[in-house]
Amino acid sequence: MKISSITVKVLFASVSILLIGKYNGADCSENDCGEYGTCNESTNTCTCLDTFIQVSSNVCGCEPESCGGRGECINPLTGVCDCDDPFVPWGNAICDCLNDEVYDHETEECMDDLCMDNTCSGRGHCIDPVRGVCECYDGYEPIEPGVCGCPIDRPIHAYGGFFGGECVEDRCIENLCGGSPKHGARGDCVDPVDGECICDAGFENDYYDPSICTCPDGEVFDDDSGECMESACAGNNCCGRGFCVDHEDGWCNCDEPFEAVAPGICECPRGLFYDYYSDQCIPDACYFDYYYYYYYYYNYQPKFPIRRELFQDFLPCSGRGECVDSYTGRCECNAPFVPDEGLECICPQDQVEHEIMGEETCVDNLCIGNSCSGRGNCIDPISGLCDCIAPFLQ
């Protein structure tokens, strides 16, 4: 029960008289000014702590009006207060809330200390014990009293790293798992940090990015049907010289200097062949550009029929065999022709070219050993015809 003010004043006066009689005239060697002051040696007077007064020349104590306006001091020597509700005495003429409470100046009541045991989610520190408001570390924002969380534009907390994680974007927002507005999502996003998806039937996670659902190996997505279909690029390595880009027919995008000559095939350009030693495309000694010569004679020699003999001097192996060495142009000739220094196919030395029933062949040279009786010169190796000296005749 609270002590009346008259009783407090009587007690206060009694203690003051007692203290004055005890310390009056003492110097600092005999005077410690009590528990709540220090003695000034030059004046032998006391300097009192806050909320205390000098109740005599040698003693500091509280006055009845001390205790912060929340009660009355009932013992000037000890500073004990008779506190108003809801405050309790703490000594030193202090009336305050309980240890786990704080005073709310708006409501003028003692409230639970909301900063006690409040870690602010481990991402800040509490600065308002009445409302539990947190001051959050960089990268975080106050979400509600006592909680520091990620901002709206980066709402997901990804754990890991030196500082225990960071706020990142929610990768599940608008994640169609590799799908499109036209065909819809290809699965369900289940991890907002990595965006990982659980794919629908017929699809599987991309090897490098689990947030994308793709067609299985060997298949490609058909935009018309919205389903996976078998790809012509499956197993097609483009001869190791490019990569397949045409899933319908299998054509390749070839590396330099190769060219796509057919679906799935990358080769050296026309007139060149691949040299394994230098890993380069080099001129092909066996190459003959039929297209060029046919085009030339068709456009610029219209009076001449397109006949094989027009190209005889240009064709590999004279058109009478097969070029078997792209480095040297060496030929393997059709019988009865033989290679001339390996680059052309000609008749043997004692024979000459002759056409029989539209087919080229070699026949004996009838001018060899034919002296025309010493009376002329052989002029036709096929027939052995002589050009005789007058007056002689064949």
Q: Which amino acid is at 11?
A: L
> DSSP character for 139?
T
Q: Which residues contact 173 (CB under 8 A, 6 or more apart)?
A: 192
Residue 9: is it exposed, middle or buried by C-beta count within 10 angstroms (0-12/13-18/19+)? middle
Residue with tokens 């009076």: 303
Q: Which two tokens stand for residue 313?
A: 């001097």
d(CA 278, CA 351): 42
| CB-based contact 55:61 (threshold 8 Å) | yes
| CB-based contact 42:53 (threshold 8 Å) | no
- Residues 109-136 have pLDDT tens digits of 899 999 988 888 888 999 999 889 999 9
What is the chain's pLDDT, residue by residue, as a tens digit (394 residues)? 454 544 444 444 444 433 333 334 457 777 777 777 888 888 777 888 776 777 766 778 787 777 878 888 887 777 788 888 888 988 777 888 888 888 888 888 899 999 988 888 888 999 999 889 999 988 888 888 888 888 877 777 666 443 456 788 888 888 999 999 999 999 999 988 888 999 999 999 999 999 999 999 888 898 888 889 888 888 888 989 999 998 888 999 999 999 999 999 999 998 899 998 888 999 988 887 666 555 555 555 544 444 555 555 667 888 888 999 989 888 999 999 999 876 789 999 899 989 888 788 999 999 998 888 888 899 999 888 999 988 877 6
In the predicted model, what is the mean pLDDT of the chain? 81
- Residues 307-346 have pLDDT tens digits of 555 555 667 888 888 999 989 888 999 999 999 876 789 9
d(CA 216, CA 204): 6
d(CA 281, CA 271): 9
* CA dihedral of residues 379, 380, 383, 386 (deg, nearest 10): -10
Helix (DSSP H) and strand (DSSP E) numbers for the chain: 2, 36
pTM here is 0.38
Answer positive or negative: Cα dihedral of 75, 76, 81, 82.
positive
pLDDT at residue 290 in the model: 65
d(CA 385, CA 391): 17
Closest CA to 129 of 149, 145, 144: 145
Number of Cβ atoms within 10 Å of the Cβ of 199:
19
